[in-house]
A = this chain, B = another copy of it.
Amino acid sequence: MAIYEPVYPHDAWPEQFTFSPAVRVGNFVFLSGTTATDDQGHIVGPGDIVLQTRQIFHKFARILQRVGGGLANIIETTEFVLSLDDYKKTAQVRRELLKGPPWPAATGIVVSGLIRKDALIEIKGIAALE
C-alpha cells in the first residue's frame, strides 16, 4: 500500500511531471505550490494578481472536491509573490472563497522569482478532511 495518495484536479495530469498537484495522507491533504495556470498551461490573469489568486483557489477547490472536501478544509496557506503591488487586494478573494471566520493560518513572502513565467503569485497549502 502506498504511504500517500496523489490527488489530481482532472484525469490528464502530465506523465512527465515529477510531482503531484496534491497528496493525501490520512486526513491531511498537502497542496503543491500552485500558480494560476488553466488546463492548457496558460496563466489566467496575466498582470493581475487578484485574478491569479482566484484561479489558484479554484484549482485548490477542484483538487479538494476529488477527496470530498472544499476550500473550507484549507487550514494553512503560504503565498509567494513577486511584489507587494496589489497584494492586499487578494484579501477580497479569500473573503469570497474561504468565507471565514474561521480563517486558515497564512504566510506571505516576497520572493525573487517563480518558476512559471507570468505568474505573480504561487500558493502552497495544507487542508484537513473530516
Chain A contacts to B: CB under 8 angstroms = 1-6, 17-23, 25-26, 30-33, 72-73, 75-78, 80, 83-84, 87, 91, 94-95, 98, 100-115, 122, 124, 126, 128-130
Residues of chain B with a CB closer than 8 A to A112's CB: 110-112
Contact with A105, one of B19, B87, B94, B130 (Cβ below 8 angstroms):
B19
Residues of B within 8 A of A106 (CB): 18-20, 32-33
Per a CB cutoff under 8 Å, which of B3, B104, B105, B130 touches A72?
B3
The reply to whether A30 and B115 form a contact with Cβ atoms under 8 Å apart is no
In Å, the complex CA distance between A51 and B103 comes to 29
Closest to A80 in B: B109
